[in-house]
Amino acid sequence: MKILHRSSTCIPQALLCALLLAAPGITSGEIVREGDRSPTPSLISERNQPITLVGERQTLITFIFTRCAAMEFCPRMAKQFEDVQEAIQEKGYTGLRLLSISLDPEFDRPELLKEYAKAVGADPATWNFATADTATIDSLTRDFRVHRNKDGGILNHTLCTALISPDGTIKRIWRGNAWTTEEVLEAVGIE
């Protein structure tokens, strides 16, 4: 099965934000900030099992979709998560879970997310993928201020990565794609 399709692209993040914020009818949910409690949606993992944002470990989340072909968006987030996974595994650190949440729940079903996880080198002991019904994803993206807009067959979106502590507190939020593995390790408390 082909995972990336040419028909799906992302437009530059700043332009998309400006367009979405200026559009009539755009509403915001309870936008979360650092120090707030994380939302607790019901998600389904790539293994077709229930999964949550809050767990026994710290959780680093980001938003992606499997058909995204814009190299500075989902493929870059996958590479950055792969780098974090590699860094924590090299250090023998098991207190961080990575979770990539699909922005395209109609297409990204668990079996496809499982295939995508293998394609990007995700170790399921460290890095999981999740989807949910459209209403849940809509609410979650509003909460984390991830703007997404389907224009025909193209899903345009912004980027957000967040670190959530085991007690559900949002420790750190990164907008865009400029965060580094070192910043994540520092926020997690790994030297």
**Nearest residue to 13 (alpha-carbon basis) of 61, 67, 76:** 76
In a domain, 31, yes or no: no
pLDDT tens by residue, 12-58: 444 444 333 333 222 345 689 999 999 999 999 999 999 999 999 99
In a domain, 1, yes or no: no
In a domain, 3, yes or no: no
pLDDT tens by residue, 91-116: 999 999 999 999 999 999 999 999 99
pLDDT tens by residue, 123-179: 999 999 999 999 999 999 999 999 888 887 778 888 899 999 999 999 999 999 989
Structural domain boundaries enclosing 86: 13-23+36-188
Name the DSSP letter for residue 158: -
In a domain, 122, yes or no: yes
The domain that holds 73 is classified in CATH as 3.40.30.10
17 known member of a binding site: no
The span from the CA of 169 to the CA of 29, in Å, is 18
In a domain, 111, yes or no: yes
pLDDT tens by residue, 57-66: 999 999 999 9
In a domain, 161, yes or no: yes
**Nearest residue to 38 (alpha-carbon basis) of 132, 163, 183:** 163
Contacts of 23 (CB under 8 A, 6+ apart): none
The span from the CA of 108 to the CA of 36, in Å, is 29
Provide DSSP, 2-25: ----TT-----HHHHHHHHHHSTT
Hey, how many other C-beta atoms are within 10 angstroms of the C-beta on 31?
Answer: 10
Query: pTM (2 decimals)?
Result: 0.83
In a domain, 123, yes or no: yes
Number of domains in the chain: 1
In a domain, 129, yes or no: yes
160 known member of a binding site: no
